[in-house]
Amino acid sequence: MSMQRKDGTMSMRIICAIFFLVFTSLYLYKYQSDILAVTQHVLSNGATHYNKVIGTILITLSLWLVQIAVHAASKLNHRAHALTYIPSLLLLAVLTDVSPHLAIGNYLGVWLWLFPLLMVLYVGVVWFFKQLESMEPVSLSFGLFSRLTWVNLLQMLIMALVVCGIGCSDTVFHCRMRMESDLLKGDYVAAARVGKHVEETDSSLTMLRILALTKTNSLCERLFEYPLTGGSDAMFPNGTSVKVMMLPEDSIYANFGVVFKEKLRPLTYLQFVNKSKYTNKVSKDWLLCAYLLDCNLDQFVKTLPSYYQVTQPLPKAFREALVLYNHLRKKPKIIYRESTMDADYEDFKKAYYLSSDPTARISNVKDNFGTTYWFYYLTHAATHPVRSV
């Protein structure tokens, strides 16, 4: 091999290595750090904690060493050089292919047998391309802009996209783990910002949002600015549809000072706490929000005067609920008027009735009123029938 050809392939290999190191580092640090944190937490039973900086460096360097070893063994230096990164990138994909139902016994899943099988096939592929390498014509183009470089970079890009496709891309799960990480660090403001404009949600994410807003003293002001689901049943963990994976459950109940051995439904628990010596501002706000989450306006109005003076300034969610209640009830038990909010509600109704199609009606009000309790009630009232408590 001529010195020119050696220099040309060396440039290509350096560029491929830079691509790999940059992609792997960003993928681990910016996208999958919270997923790796919960993976380490679950697999170690909470005994160890993931550090995103150290973890990113160690994993990236380890995978690079795997590639160096594969290259040393295969000597693939030309158009198929990028294939020496397959084991490293596949390991990266396996490492981040984490399910929201992660447990010690199911972490690897199908990879337990699929990865060894793919490695056997990979050996055959490497052997095949090694035989072709000797038949490749000598290229007169070398360096950064050579065809050799771009062919390998294209392969690297395709493999990077495959990694992104295999790794955990569940938006809601990412939001949940980001929030749990922020809550564990005590960064409640950051936790409250996570996924605010992401429409997908689940009951576990709803619970974490309620907790984060409580910690920032903005629960009753901002709760219904977020996508929510699950009603009041989503306010506390139940181990199935509502759960935490890193955050201790006790940290949630610590706001109320009492935990029962037998789990109660959130609404029942909050009603009990507010009749006991443990009642506090948080428990009162949570109970009122529980009624609103269940679209139970009558019970909300019945309870509100016990905790707040209705004639005094109220949080945004409570004001919106009272305005809605006064428009829905012919004989409201509390007469509430606020000129600006009443005008906004009239605009809400006008936008809603612009169309006779149910889907179009929702779309008409979403842009301007999607962060109001009125929109929440409109989209959830049918799924949360009023309960008689």
What are 176-205's pLDDT values in tens digits?
A: 999 999 999 999 999 999 998 899 999 999
Q: Look up residue 149 and give its two tokens.
A: 């470089």
Give residue 267's pLDDT. 96
Give residue 249's pLDDT. 92
CA separation for the pair 176, 50 (Å, rounded)? 16
Give residue 156's pLDDT. 97
Domain boundary at 275, 294, 313, which? 294
Same-domain status, 289 and 275 = yes
What percent of the chain shows pLDDT beyond 90?
75
Q: Which has more pLDDT, 129 or 319?
A: 319
Question: What average pLDDT does the structure give for the chain?
Answer: 91
Per-residue pLDDT tens for 15-67?
999 999 999 999 999 999 999 999 999 999 889 999 999 999 999 999 999 99
135 assigned to some structural domain: yes
Give residue 138's pLDDT. 58
Closest CA to 187 of 247, 242, 229, 127: 247
pLDDT range class, residue 275, cuts 50, 70, 90: very high
CB count within 10 Å of CB 354 equals 13
Q: Which has more pLDDT, 295 or 146?
A: 295
Domain boundary at 151, 169, 187, which? 169
Q: Look up residue 337 and give its two tokens.
A: 């008027």
Number of structural domains found in the chain: 3
Average of per-residue pLDDT across 218-231: 96
Same-domain status, 164 and 205 = no
This prediction has a pTM of 0.88
Give residue 245's pLDDT. 94
Q: Which has more pLDDT, 78 or 136?
A: 78
Using only C-alpha atoms, the chain has a radius of gyration, in whole angstroms, of 28
Same-domain status, 135 and 177 = no
Same-domain status, 133 and 178 = no
Same-domain status, 164 and 177 = no
List of long-range contacts for 379-385, beta carbons under 8 Å, 24+ apart: 380/228, 380/231, 380/295, 381/295, 383/231, 384/231, 384/293, 384/294, 384/295, 384/296
Average of per-residue pLDDT across 351-363: 89
Average of per-residue pLDDT across 92-113: 87
310 assigned to some structural domain: no
Closest CA to 179 of 194, 164, 199, 161: 194
Average of per-residue pLDDT across 274-301: 96
**pLDDT at residue 3 greater than cutoff 90:** no
Residue 98 has, within 13 A of its CA and on its CB side, a CA count of: 25
Q: Which domain holds residue 349?
A: 322-388
Same-domain status, 256 and 328 = no
